[in-house]
């Protein structure tokens, strides 16, 4: 039901508990996300390019079969619930182009099967969790356009990853900005760690 011109709020989908895939992308759906606790067999959820608002429900972690979660280009806000760590089969997570805020939860580092993680164009702040070093299968990471996100990592992470580069602080003195290399195919480059 993607790109079919749906308008308004999502109807109750909870009776469809045997769904494996659900795509409502590219419509004009408004309101909060549909109840997700009944979708325990869902492997793919694509709700991008809509007008969903509100927060991610805590029970998002109940969808333990989920492999792909794509919620980009909506109006979602608030923090990412720590229950997201229960999505142990997740390979692709795209929450970009929303209004999420607060720190990036270190629990994301428990999603060790992730190959794509896009948190760009939000309002995340604070440090990048060191647990990101566990994401050894990543081939795409985008944290661009989070103005309050601090990408300077600890010396411990830098020493382990062997990837650092010089930058200049506001007084002109050189310091180090530490970049993670997750694998040979993943290098987080530039000030905003853009990888397109």
DSSP-derived secondary structure for the chain: -TTS--EEEPPP-TT-TT-SEEE--SSEEEESPPP-TT-TT--EEE--SSEEEE---GGGGG-TT--EEE--SSEEEEPPPGGGGG-TT--EEE--SSEEEEPPPGGGGG-TT-SEEE--SSEEEEEPPGGGGG-TT-SEEE--S-TEEE----HHHHHHHT-EEEEE-TTS-EEEEE--EEETTEE-BTTTTB--
Residues in CB range of 82: below 8 A, 6 or more apart: 105, 107
Say what the pTM is: 0.77
d(CA 188, CA 156): 17
Question: Can you read off the two tokens belonging to residue 118?
Answer: 């896009």
The answer to whether 88 and 113 have CB atoms below 8 angstroms apart is yes
Residue length of the chain = 196
The CATH number for 7-152, chosen from 3.30.300.90, 3.40.50.300, 3.80.10.10, 1.25.40.10, is 3.80.10.10
Domain edges within the chain: 7-152
What is residue 185's predicted lDDT score, i.e. its pLDDT?
31
d(CA 177, CA 165): 6
For the chain of 196 residues, list the mean pLDDT of each consecutive stretch of 10: 69 83 93 86 95 94 95 98 96 98 97 96 95 93 92 50 34 35 34 39
What is residue 1's predicted lDDT score, i.e. its pLDDT?
55
d(CA 135, CA 116): 10
Largest CA distance in the chain: 61
What is residue 101's predicted lDDT score, i.e. its pLDDT?
97
What is residue 181's predicted lDDT score, i.e. its pLDDT?
34
What is residue 17's predicted lDDT score, i.e. its pLDDT?
85
């Amino acid at each position: 039901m993607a790109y079919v011109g749906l308008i308004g709020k999502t109807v109750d989908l909870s009776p469809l508990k045997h769904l494996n895939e659900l795509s409502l992308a590219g419509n004009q759906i408004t309101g909060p996300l549909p109840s997700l606790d009944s979708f325990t067999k869902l492997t793919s959820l694509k709700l991008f390019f809509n007008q969903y608002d509100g927060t991610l429900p805590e029970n998002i972690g109940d969808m333990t079969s989920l492999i792909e979660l794509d919620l980009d280009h909506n109006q979602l806000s608030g923090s990412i619930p720590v229950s997201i760590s229960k999505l142990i089969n997740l390979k692709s997570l795209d929450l970009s182009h929303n209004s999420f805020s607060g720190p990036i939860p270190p629990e994301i580092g428990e999603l060790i099967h992730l190959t794509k993680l896009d948190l760009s164009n939000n309002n995340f702040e604070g440090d990048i969790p060191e647990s990101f070093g566990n994401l050894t299968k990543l081939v795409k990471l985008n944290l661009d356009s989070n103005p309050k996100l601090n990408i300077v990592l600890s010396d411990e992470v830098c020493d382990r990853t062997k990837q650092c580069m010089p930058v200049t602080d506001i007084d002109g003195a050189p310091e180090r900005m530490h970049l993670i290399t997750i694998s040979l195919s993943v290098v987080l480059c530039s000030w905003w760690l853009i990888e397109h």
